[in-house]
Structure 1
């Protein structure tokens, strides 16, 4: 399995190139910010039409990760749906596909700022969760340790062979893990943004998603245009 293996607070974890976090000892797969229904919400609110294939692509990637790891436990770190209406209007094919994955596993939905209420799907709904030494929530809290969170959709951009490369990434230091967005239609916050610079320790690493899960020092020098900025608790939607 292509992954970046590391130990965090005594837990042996693997960052997968898909953007999922695998915890073999707990048989647990963790994903964040799936944003199912993104294209539907954008069309509903703005009239702009996006190709309606994001849900299929995201769910196919999740299905593949579950098959490869044989995970028996899943935790979704919030913003699994782009809003509550998107959760209610999930196409039947995707709803049935997702239900099949959930019913054979212990599945926890952590509430996000896009989907704060209970969902009409199997699984347990919770504001946060403690599993072993780790605490799982949607939005990082600056004074908290042993934390795994999402929300910010971190992205790294760096020079490579005379050009630049950008990737969604995990951010990891001794205190916390910030997960990349797993969903297909998601923006991101550069690692150079003051919010992430203040949140992560100076020796933090970025584990890049994509073809390979590769660790680099967290880029901290802004040498590129900024993407849309996300602030703690508030995200500007496309």
Structure 2
């Protein structure tokens, strides 16, 4: 867990991709995609059915290590609208225990969208919202181009892709934009155990983070925060 300054506040980024917010005693996680394996199994692609259990175990560790009393999930909580009903008993019990032990808020994402004329349902305790504003920070699933307020989001599953000594490295990372005043927005890495990722430097991500003065990838490594430039104002490769 490494310290991170963002929007004039202090945070901690964990190795698992969760963000701890000491001021609010809150843990932020994005893109759990619970029951992704069972979704693929329904469509003929058999995967080990333990992704939800692993994701929830990692989340329980992050809550215990940070002491967080609040949890905000930033959308795509289940891989599909029927995921909550497919949770096996052990995973369902784990999730129920976590939502009882914390003030839990599910931010909804595109994978969580109910069918037409249906209301979104709280999966297992906690409350549900499309987006929130907490202490001046906007919490939503997908970064909104043009947003000038501090914002936390997910959706893109960013991964840093670099080549070091002829070895290609791909690591989940946060993507942070800064404006001229030093404020900015952040896309969290996917937290789920069975999630892929998009190149953090992809033009789709860079465009979603505009307007910006600079955009960087951030990840914990060796007990410190590592920072890689992705885009700078004035660069001819403007998205």
Provide closer, same or farther for how the CA distance between residues 212 and 54 of structure 1 changes in structure 2, counting only shifts above 3 A. Answer: farther
Cα distance between partner residues in 2 of 1:85 and 1:211: 39
Please point out which of 26, 29, 34 is paired with 2:27.
29
What are the equivalent positions in structure 2 for 1:82-231 lying under 5 Å apart? 82-116=79-113, 117-144=120-147, 145-174=149-178, 175-200=184-209, 201=212, 203-208=214-219, 214-219=225-230
Provide closer, same or farther for how the CA distance between residues 211 and 33 of structure 1 changes in structure 2, counting only shifts above 3 A. Answer: farther
Q: What is the total number of aligned residue pairs between the two structures? A: 217
Provide closer, same or farther for how the CA distance between residues 91 and 211 of structure 1 changes in structure 2, counting only shifts above 3 A. Answer: farther
CA RMSD of aligned residues (A): 1.6
Runs of 4 or more consecutive aligned structure 1 residues displaced over 3 Å after TM superposition = 209-214
Structure 2 gaps of 5+ residues are 114-119, 179-183, 232-239
Structure 1 gaps of 5+ residues are 221-238
Query: Counting strand residues as a fraction of each chain, which structure ranks higher?
Result: 2
Cα distance between partner residues in 1 of 2:96 and 2:150: 30
Length-normalised TM-score, structure 2? 0.85
Cα distance between partner residues in 1 of 2:26 and 2:165: 37
Cα distance between partner residues in 2 of 1:188 and 1:73: 26
